[in-house]
Chain A
Amino acid sequence: MAQVLESQRGPVTGTAVAKKKRRPFLLDLYSTAVGKKYVMALTGIGLIGFVVFHMIGNLKMYLGQADMDHYAEFLKALLYPIAPKGVVLWLLRGGLLTMVALHIHAAYSLTQLNHKARPVKYQSERDYQVANFASRSMRYTGVTVLLFVIWHLLDLTWGVVNTVGADGEFIKADVYDNVVRSFERWPVALFYILANIMLGIHLFHGVWSLFQSMGWNSPRFNEWRRSIAAGIATIVVVGNVSFPVAVLAGIVGG
């Protein structure tokens, strides 16, 4: 259990000359821990943008079946006829996938780095002062959200785990019916609610944290960072959790 330094110590030079690595600029930046945190923060912002718009879009289900299905149709026709139908949507999806991949890769490699930075754990119990549940469970809340998103796509995009339509076939365009049928199964509704609470916890720390990571810090708004994080997390969770509750209560689809 000896704590031995693995990396070779640099010479005592007394001059501030960074080691020169020949790498393309962006790769060079991403190779550092702080650079990876920028990537986490920026991809996090992108994903928050998605989550918020996704929630707002889904509020259409309160306007009824026609509005909801029309909204889905509208998404496909974004920028049509400048771009053919579906193209813009696929570009957005590509962007989302890239952001998810980068976010997870950065999270994974920083976690590895952190394990290496303390190979021998404290042998007695730590008494944490300010680290909260949200900040300490980022990896777990994040992975839960990922698993949920996979389920969610299987359920409502591909219909693999949805109950089949009335004619025995999953019809993707019947968004409203698909959502109602899915949430009428209470275990699915429960999983959806729990996963969204996890997302809320992730955002409660994440949104606060990204200001630090990016160095967006000023006495003018520092005191607001916690409230902004709590606000975004609350809006996303309340909006999203309302959908299965509304279905189960018969307000939507009843």
Chain B
Amino acid sequence: MSNHLKDIILKIWRQNGPQDSGRFETYKVDEISDEASFLEMLDYLNEQLITDGKEAIVFDHDCREGICGTCSLMINGQAHGPERSTATCQLHMRKFSSGAEIVIEPWRAAAFPIIKDLMVDRSAFDRIIESGGFITSVTGGAPDANLIPIPKPVADSAMDSAACIGCGACVAACPNGAANLFTSAKIAHLNLLPQGQAERYKRAESMIEKMDEYFGSCTNHGECEAACPKEISIDVIALANADYRKAKLKNRKFISRI
């Protein structure tokens, strides 16, 4: 049985473009089903705004099932809102009650400039991936599955790290605006697997140094892990820190050998 929530007050960040200073604006949704998703509630509000001849609120979304990493939003001071280990698109209005005041802000980081309203540009993450978040493999026919034996615990850990959808909630939640959880998840994913070994140390070095160009520095608060919709553990940060240390020493040794 669906219930209906009444009189939801929304304080939403509106900003015309990257250079605009932006401000909060207050909206009211008179009635909404508690089965509506949070983003459906925003759709509904946007319909109202369009009907009233006003400009719709811009926000990011795509798959709406927690797998693409496009949705964002700082909801009542929490990245992806009050539901743990879910993305904003998986948040439902039943998490709130009638008369609730909900404050919505975009992710805030120097590396995530606001495009408009609640939408930010996360391509700094792409710069990090380009710097080493891949393996160089032979082209041609697809290799047979299970050609390379991988111990089950290793495959599981790599899979857990690979679950990162690149949403940026870790950066948004971090009091330092650090991207260590994202970067380390991507490093751990490949550095754990046999296929990633050839470029292991180059990867650790390049990705961490690329991250440095855009983001803050980790002080191990753990807010990223709490905000992550994929429950990536901060253990990956320790792994990447260890690999970076080894990389600096090994890469130096290799270079000085020639």
Contact = CB atoms under 8 A, between A and B. Distances in A.
Interface of A: 1-7, 9-10, 12-14, 16-19, 25, 28-29, 32-38, 110, 113-114, 116-131, 135-136, 138, 205, 208-209, 211-217, 222
B175 A131 contact: yes
Considering the complex of A and B, which 4 residue pairs feature the smallest CB-CB distances, nearest first?
A215-B242, A117-B216, A217-B238, A127-B77
Contacts of A19: 209
Contact of B216 (A16, A29, A118): A118
B176 A114 contact: yes
Given A13-B130, A18-B202, A131 B110 contact: no
Contacts of A14: 130
B243 A215 contact: yes
Listed residue (A16, A135, A222) with the most chain B CB atoms within 10 angstroms of its CB: A16
Contacts of B175: 114, 126, 128, 131, 136
Interface stretch (B1-9, B14-22, B28-36, B56-64): B14-22
Contacts of A28: 248
Interface residues of B, number: 71
Contact of A131 (B105, B223, B237): B223
Contacts of B127: 9-10
B221 A130 contact: yes
A119 to B, nearest CB: 5
B220 A12 contact: no
A130 B78 CA distance: 12
A8 B222 CA distance: 30
B217 A113 contact: yes
Given A16-B206, A124-B77, A212 B130 contact: no
A1 B77 contact: no
Contacts of B21: 1-2
* Interface of A, helix, strand, loop or mixed by DSSP: loop
Interface in B197-212: 199, 202-203, 205-210, 212
A247 to B, nearest CB: 37
B131 interface: yes
Listed residue (B13, B18, B78, B220) with the most chain A CB atoms within 10 angstroms of its CB: B220
B220 A117 contact: no
Nearest to B248: A29
Contacts of B19: 2, 4
B202 A34 contact: no
B130 A129 contact: no
Nearest to A1: B21
Given A2-B113, A127-B78, A213-B241, 10 more contacts: A3-B108, A3-B112, A3-B114, A33-B216, A119-B110, A129-B223, A135-B221, A135-B222, A217-B238, A217-B242
12 contacts: A3-B109, A5-B113, A16-B203, A18-B206, A117-B215, A118-B216, A124-B76, A128-B223, A214-B241, A214-B245, A216-B238, A217-B242
B159 interface: no
A19 B203 CA distance: 13
Contacts of A209: 219-220
Contacts of A119: 110
A119 B176 CA distance: 10
A21 B1 CA distance: 63
A7 B213 contact: yes
B209 A18 contact: yes
B225 A33 contact: no
A18 B131 contact: yes
Listed residue (B109, B227, B243) with the most chain A CB atoms within 10 angstroms of its CB: B109
Contacts of B239: 215, 217
Contact of A120 (B74, B108, B252): B108
Given A117-B110, A129-B227, A135-B219, A215 B241 contact: yes
